[in-house]
């Protein structure tokens, strides 16, 4: 059955008030209010009515944590939970299957992948080696640590980056909110194509790492940090 957190998230995606939900599900407004406040424990029939109303309105519930708003050309999914990066990797792997596929990344700080993805990073590396998909990364020129080959990177001023990362692959645009440990995954071909154009425009003016910089950047090799350009 759906959870209280999913109900609240779905109502927010639909921009529904509690009254709107109550009417759509055939429930009373006080009943919906008490349910969302955790004052009462919902009956199975109540949850079924809410789920049916929200699915009819365009919501898709994913497992016991996810909520997705589906339209003919757009769906939005919030990826969270203790296995949030594993779920995200699974989606990447489902899209990037050949050497003709490519992922584009706006990377604010690659060290965050080591903080949050230390147990899952090898899965990404193994899949990339297996199918040989392409990868290009835009990063701040102040970056001190990288997780992919240096040739995959070009750099811009740190002022060009925020506190979150963005990745574009297939018809997906993923916004990685590190502080919240969440990913907003938007599936939209038109949005992905637009983001890809922006990335390519910036890529054309961005610069590779200077040779002097390469001697000081630490690079993850799958086991431990090493200095790029050093044995």
> Residue 152 is part of a domain; what is its CATH number?
3.30.870.10
Q: Both 64 and 84 in a single domain?
A: no
Do 42 and 106 share a domain, yes or no? no
Mean confidence (pLDDT) of the chain: 88
State which residues form the domain around 40.
4-70
Residues 49 and 101 in one domain: no
- Domain boundary residue among 45, 70, 95? 70
227 vs 222: which has the higher pLDDT: 222
* Rounded Cα gap, residues 117 and 158, in angstroms: 23
Residues 39 and 9 both lie in one domain: yes
**Which pLDDT tens digit goes with each residue over 101-132?**
999 999 988 777 777 777 777 888 899 999 99
> Could you tell me if 217 and 181 lie in one domain?
yes
Tell me the percentage of the chain whose pLDDT exceeds 70. 94
Whether residues 83 and 28 fall in one domain: no
Determine the pLDDT at residue 225: 41
Do 44 and 145 belong to one domain? Answer: no
Q: What is the pLDDT of residues 169-184, one digit of tens each?
A: 999 999 999 989 999 9
| Confidence at residue 227, expressed as pLDDT on a 0 to 100 scale | 38
Q: In total, how many domains does the chain have?
A: 2
Of 74-83, 196-205, 222-231, which range is least confident?
222-231
Q: Do both 66 and 85 map to the same domain?
A: no
Q: Which of 50, 70, 90 is the last residue of a domain?
A: 70
Alpha carbon distance 90, 77 (integer Å): 14
Position 228 scores a pLDDT of 42
The CATH number assigned to the domain holding 31 equals 1.10.260.40
- Considering the domain architecture, whether residues 170 and 83 belong to the same structural domain is answered as yes
If asked whether residues 102 and 133 sit together in one domain, one would say: yes
Tell me, yes or no, whether 14 and 97 share the same domain.
Answer: no
Query: Do both 13 and 118 map to the same domain?
Result: no
The answer, yes or no, to whether residue 72 has pLDDT greater than 70, is no
Mean pLDDT across 80-100: 92
């Amino acid at each position: 059955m759906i959870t209280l957190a999913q109900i609240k998230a779905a109502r927010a995606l639909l921009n529904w008030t509690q009254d709107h939900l109550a009417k759509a599900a055939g429930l009373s407004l006080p009943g919906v209010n008490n349910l969302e406040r955790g004052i009462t424990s919902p009956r199975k029939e109540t949850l079924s009515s809410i789920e049916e109303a929200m699915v009819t309105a365009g919501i898709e519930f994913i497992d016991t944590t996810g909520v997705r708003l589906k339209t003919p050309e757009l769906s939005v999914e919030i990826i969270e939970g203790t296995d949030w990066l594993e779920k995200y990797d699974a989606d990447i792997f489902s899209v990037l299957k050949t050497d003709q596929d490519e992922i584009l990344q706006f990377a604010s700080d690659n060290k965050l992948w080591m903080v949050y993805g230390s147990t899952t990073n090898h899965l990404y590396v193994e899949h990339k080696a297996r199918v040989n998909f392409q990868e290009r990364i835009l990063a701040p020129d102040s970056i001190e640590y990288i997780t992919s080959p240096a040739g995959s990177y070009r750099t811009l001023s740190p002022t060009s980056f925020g506190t979150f990362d963005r990745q574009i692959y297939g018809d997906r645009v993923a916004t990685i909110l590190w502080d919240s440990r969440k990913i907003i995954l938007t599936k939209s071909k038109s949005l992905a194509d637009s983001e890809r154009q922006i990335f390519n425009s910036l890529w054309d003016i961005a610069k590779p790492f200077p040779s002097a910089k390469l001697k000081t950047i630490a690079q993850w090799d799958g086991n431990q940090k090493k200095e790029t350009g050093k044995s």
